[in-house]
Chain A
Amino acid sequence: MDRDKTIAEERKGQQSFLNYISVLLMPVIAVIFGLLIGAIFMKLIGKNPLQAYQVLWNSSFGSLRGFYETLVNTTPLIFTGLAVAFAFRCGLFNIGGDGQFLIAYTATAWVGYVISLPWFIHIPLALLAGIILGGVWGGFAGYLKATLGVHEVITTIMMNYISLYFTGYLIGGPLMKPGALPATPKILESARLWRVPHSRLNLGFMIALIAAALIYYLLWKTTIGYEVRAVGLNPDGAEYGGISVARNMVLAMFISGALAGLAGSVQVMGLEYRAYQPFGFIGYGFTGIAVALLGKNHPGGVVLSALLFGILSRGAMQMQSLAGVPKEVIEIIQAIIIFFVAAEYMFTLIARKIKRRRGGISLVNQ
């Protein structure tokens, strides 16, 4: 009896392990294809792909400094990737990451320079400012969806522009430090995040990892996550189970906005120490969509895919200067990766065909 039980459990363990492998398989294949096709493009324009990829590798893993820089690039993408993933778990598509980023970025800068406080109050307060502003910015779109049925894709896009011009006005006007540069004054020391000596890598990266862990906990270990996921998978079923669809939509968009907002806060507190007037969207929000997609809307996957995008964006610069490969090639690679992940269904079909030809023997079924 005990023996049966252990065998059953062992099998269960194996199965879940195989599940993990099969979930990871697609993104990995996508990345390999992306790099292969990128290589073909480089060949076509007469560049040496091997050399370029060597540069790409070395840019992140060739030196400690390079690795730190990669993590700096990764940090905001973890936040915006989590933002998109969390909203998606509730069945919502948050395209407003950039708007939420900017509004939080500005709010955090203001809190950072306007009052002098001890660091253990100032830092949480500055982060909180970003969380709340970003959250409200996203939550408002959720509110419109829940009460009036306005589609969140439309509202978040429009809120992006409101945010862009509003923060542009604030930073270029009321919040601007008199002088030549259209930017706020520098935030006080007490609001700055600790940095690894001689690098730009700061505590923001740790905060991003903590956020990912918290989101994982929230989604799968709490009633909040249970309800958010239920609404995302079947709103009618959730409603019947006594779960308020409207409330969860607003909540999910608030949390999503808060995560994107944190990207802005950390940008100010760990990196730039002030808010610069934006001339356009930085694109973290949009890249966040790709990060979430590649990461299968799972916090762990988001961290890994954010890292990949961080490596690619760091490598893009170096490939251009050292290997003479235009940085657009990296964008092509990114696009192909996203394409392959999005077209996963096609691969599932092909895999099924291959399996059939081999006589339908599959490891998973045994």
Chain B
Amino acid sequence: MAGKNELALDLRKITKEFPGVLANDSVDFQLKKGEIHALLGENGAGKTTLMKCLYGLYQPDAGEIYINGEKVDVTSPNIAIEHGIGMVHQHFMLVPPFTVAENIVLGSEPRRRGMLDEKRAIEDVERLSERYGLNVDPRARVQDISVGMQQRVEILKALYRGADILILDEPTAVLTPQEVEELIEIMKSLTEEGKSIIFITHKLKEVKAISDRVTVIRRGRVIDTVSTDSATTSDLARMMVGREVVLRVEKGPAHPGEVILEVENLKAKNDRGLLALNGTTFSVRRGEILGIAGVDGNGQSELTEVLTGLRELEEGRILFKGKDITNFSTRDIIETGVSYIPEDRQHRGLVLDFTLYENLIMGNHYQPPYARGIKMNYNKIRKEVRRLIKEFDIRTPNEDVLAKSLSGGNQQKVILAREFDRDPDLLIAAQPTRGVDVGAIEFIHKRIIEQRDAGKAVLLISLELDEILSLSDRIAVIYEGEIVDILDRKEATEEKLGLLMAGAGTRRAMGGGA
């Protein structure tokens, strides 16, 4: 391609400072036309800040932005859009009850006699979708389509506004493995059509699979920009965290003790009133990690919610250390000795507008030493909280900052610190490393294994097979709300699990009837 070496984008010496943090320290970044350029870095390294400066959501304190060779002062997203920049955010900005077509044209609707020209909107979207092989149904409502589809709608939205440069902010974080494959195809066909893509991620595998070049950012500085072919995964990992990362977790053999959690024939409905748990049965012993593997949406969320008292159980029994705790309140469950790392840390795990110290006591806030009667003891709280911040290496200026100002990995450490400090008998970890960087993943995995070795029962629910395989001692596969099989770690392979996750282990699939 002729224009392959022309620059679509040239960011020069971008600097952005927040109170107490230098988020971008004179960052240079160049995007060639028609390339997929990965922006790799830990959480909090400054990737998103840089992109927000480019998209006009932040104003850099210093530095210049050149788009197609022209110096542009991007003071608002509108200016970015005018210059052909489109951003697909990590959290989608869609209107759920609207159709796909309505969402895509929103803000620049085709009109006829002052009214939305729905027919043309649908045609436009169909044409666009076909051209890039996106395959979306413009008439479907966004609330009814899968997360992967919603992401395509976001991409289409950017394309509809004439984007030539696409910024994808951690696009794979919410996708299933198959959807990731499809996204890679889409990204390739987009570059063939002459689009340039910035792909923000902290997953090394994907960088290797997708990108042409990669720029590594660490603590607000560019470490290097290299062509992807010339760097190995461990090279990249080293650049990213500044030290060798053990991608495989080291752990000794398990020494399972007595049964801590026993669930029998759980049945529960999801938010839409459909049966999401359909006779789930399993047990977890002291000193072992039971991994629940499965494709997203097979009852994992409902399972954790039922176990933590956040969702009502229709049928079945939950025994904790032999005691029936079925339909206990969340507080009672916490008090009996259950800790829980929720899958959605911003929505469930934290009160984002609370300070760090307020978040670190949540759930224990009414008990000594934090409180006596109704009176809270803030001296004690601060002392304890400072200890936790140190112990769990939470990177923060002090304990007074709001939780929302921390990076994802640090937010997760806050939850970990709080839940582990409770010294539970059972730890339920749902997607404990979702959206956190390699360094934090390693830290979190180590801590979870420490919990196991300290004689706690661990129930790990994860959509990432790698995580399940590297942590679990036994692996249960969930499919349509049922545990279809429980394998010992030694006999489990990716292929075997893959088949079970796809439903091959169910009675129906194994030969009909019964």
A240 close to B349 (CB less than 8 A): yes
Q: Does A173 lie at the interface of the complex (its beta carbon under 8 Å from any beta carbon of B)?
A: no
Q: Which residues of A contact B17 (CB under 8 A)?
A: 365
A242 close to B351 (CB less than 8 A): no
Q: Which residues of A contact B358 (CB under 8 A)?
A: 226, 230
Docked Cα-Cα span, A229 to B358, in Å, equals: 11
Chain B residues with a Cβ closer than 8 Å to the other chain, count: 36
Q: Which of B273-281, B326-334, B459-467 contacts A (4 or more CB under 8 A)?
A: B326-334
Distance from B59 Cβ to chain A, minimum over Cβ atoms (Å): 6
A360 close to B61 (CB less than 8 A): yes
Q: Does B362 lie at the interface of the complex (its beta carbon under 8 Å from any beta carbon of A)?
A: yes
| Known contacts A12-B398, A360-B61: A234-B376 contact under CB 8 Å | no
Produce 1/0 per residue, B352-363, CB < 8 A to A. 111000100011
Q: Name B60's closest neighbour in chain A (CB-CB).
A: A360
Docked Cα-Cα span, A322 to B363, in Å, equals: 60
A222 close to B374 (CB less than 8 A): yes
Docked Cα-Cα span, A237 to B352, in Å, equals: 9
Distance from B420 Cβ to chain A, minimum over Cβ atoms (Å): 15
Q: Does A239 lie at the interface of the complex (its beta carbon under 8 Å from any beta carbon of B)?
A: yes
Distance from A218 Cβ to chain B, minimum over Cβ atoms (Å): 9
Produce 1/0 per residue, B319-347, CB < 8 A to A. 00000000001110111000010100001
Other-chain residue from A226, A237, A240 in contact with B365 (beta carbon distance below 8 A): A226
Other-chain residue from B61, B335, B353, B365 in contact with A234 (beta carbon distance below 8 A): B353
B348 close to A236 (CB less than 8 A): yes
Q: Does B350 lie at the interface of the complex (its beta carbon under 8 Å from any beta carbon of A)?
A: yes
A241 close to B363 (CB less than 8 A): yes
Q: Name A221's closest neighbour in chain B (CB-CB).
A: B376
Q: Which residues of A contact B18 (CB under 8 A)?
A: 365
Distance from A4 Cβ to chain B, minimum over Cβ atoms (Å): 14
Q: Name A361's closest neighbour in chain B (CB-CB).
A: B61
A364 close to B19 (CB less than 8 A): yes
Among B340, B350, B351, B400, residue most surrounded by chain A Cβ atoms (within 10 Å): B351
Q: Which residues of B contact A241 (CB under 8 A)?
A: 330, 351, 362-363, 365
Q: Which residues of B contact A365 (CB under 8 A)?
A: 17-19
Other-chain residue from B19, B350, B353, B363 in contact with A242 (beta carbon distance below 8 A): B363
B374 close to A240 (CB less than 8 A): no
Q: Which residues of A contact B334 (CB under 8 A)?
A: 242
Q: Which residues of B contact A114 (CB under 8 A)?
A: none
Distance from B330 Cβ to chain A, minimum over Cβ atoms (Å): 4
Q: Which residues of A contact B329 (CB under 8 A)?
A: 242, 244
A230 close to B354 (CB less than 8 A): yes
Docked Cα-Cα span, A233 to B333, in Å, equals: 23
A238 close to B61 (CB less than 8 A): no
Distance from B41 Cβ to chain A, minimum over Cβ atoms (Å): 23
Docked Cα-Cα span, A262 to B351, in Å, equals: 32
Q: Does A6 lie at the interface of the complex (its beta carbon under 8 Å from any beta carbon of B)?
A: no
Q: Does B308 lie at the interface of the complex (its beta carbon under 8 Å from any beta carbon of A)?
A: yes
Docked Cα-Cα span, A360 to B58, in Å, equals: 12
A233 close to B376 (CB less than 8 A): no
Other-chain residue from A222, A237, A243, A360 in contact with B376 (beta carbon distance below 8 A): A222
| Known contacts A223-B376, A244-B329, A365-B17: A237-B351 contact under CB 8 Å | yes
Q: Does A224 lie at the interface of the complex (its beta carbon under 8 Å from any beta carbon of B)?
A: yes
Chain A residues with a Cβ closer than 8 Å to the other chain, count: 24
Q: Does B371 lie at the interface of the complex (its beta carbon under 8 Å from any beta carbon of A)?
A: yes
B351 close to A223 (CB less than 8 A): no
Q: Which residues of A contact B376 (CB under 8 A)?
A: 221-223, 226
Distance from B421 Cβ to chain A, minimum over Cβ atoms (Å): 14
Q: Does B92 lie at the interface of the complex (its beta carbon under 8 Å from any beta carbon of A)?
A: no
Docked Cα-Cα span, A12 to B353, in Å, equals: 19
B347 close to A239 (CB less than 8 A): no
Q: Does B205 lie at the interface of the complex (its beta carbon under 8 Å from any beta carbon of A)?
A: no
Within 8 A of B (CB), among A213-228: 221-224, 226-227
Q: Does B490 lie at the interface of the complex (its beta carbon under 8 Å from any beta carbon of A)?
A: no
| Known contacts A223-B365, A360-B61: A233-B374 contact under CB 8 Å | no
Q: Does A177 lie at the interface of the complex (its beta carbon under 8 Å from any beta carbon of B)?
A: no
A236 close to B398 (CB less than 8 A): no
Q: Which residues of A contact B308 (CB under 8 A)?
A: 240
Distance from B65 Cβ to chain A, minimum over Cβ atoms (Å): 15
Q: Which residues of B contact A43 (CB under 8 A)?
A: none
Q: Name A359's closest neighbour in chain B (CB-CB).
A: B61
Docked Cα-Cα span, A208 to B334, in Å, equals: 39
Distance from B143 Cβ to chain A, minimum over Cβ atoms (Å): 19
Q: Which residues of A contact B353 (CB under 8 A)?
A: 233-234
Docked Cα-Cα span, A360 to B75, in Å, equals: 13
Among A222, A224, A364, residue most surrounded by chain B Cβ atoms (within 10 Å): A222
A360 close to B354 (CB less than 8 A): no
B371 close to A234 (CB less than 8 A): no
Distance from B296 Cβ to chain A, minimum over Cβ atoms (Å): 19
Q: Which residues of A contact B351 (CB under 8 A)?
A: 230, 233-234, 237-238, 241
Q: Does A356 lie at the interface of the complex (its beta carbon under 8 Å from any beta carbon of B)?
A: yes
| Known contacts A12-B398, A234-B352, A360-B61: A239-B365 contact under CB 8 Å | no
Q: Which residues of B contact A224 (CB under 8 A)?
A: 374
Q: Which residues of A contact B61 (CB under 8 A)?
A: 360
Docked Cα-Cα span, A222 to B371, in Å, equals: 8
Q: Which residues of A contact B310 (CB under 8 A)?
A: 239-240
Q: Which residues of B contact A227 (CB under 8 A)?
A: 365-366
Q: Which residues of A contact B374 (CB under 8 A)?
A: 222-224
Distance from A244 Cβ to chain B, minimum over Cβ atoms (Å): 7
Docked Cα-Cα span, A233 to B362, in Å, equals: 13
Other-chain residue from A233, A236, A242 in contact with B354 (beta carbon distance below 8 A): A233
A356 close to B366 (CB less than 8 A): no
A240 close to B375 (CB less than 8 A): no
Q: Which residues of A contact B400 (CB under 8 A)?
A: 12
B59 close to A237 (CB less than 8 A): no
Q: Which residues of B contact A242 (CB under 8 A)?
A: 329-331, 333-335, 363
Q: Which residues of A contact B398 (CB under 8 A)?
A: 12
Docked Cα-Cα span, A224 to B336, in Å, equals: 22
A240 close to B342 (CB less than 8 A): yes
Other-chain residue from A12, A221, A230, A240 in contact with B330 (beta carbon distance below 8 A): A240
B349 close to A237 (CB less than 8 A): yes
Given contacts A242-B334, A365-B17, 6 further A-B contacts (CB under 8 A): A233-B353, A237-B351, A237-B352, A241-B330, A241-B351, A241-B363
Q: 13 A-B Cβ contacts within 8 A?
A: A221-B375, A223-B371, A224-B374, A227-B365, A236-B347, A237-B350, A237-B362, A238-B351, A240-B310, A241-B351, A241-B362, A242-B329, A365-B18
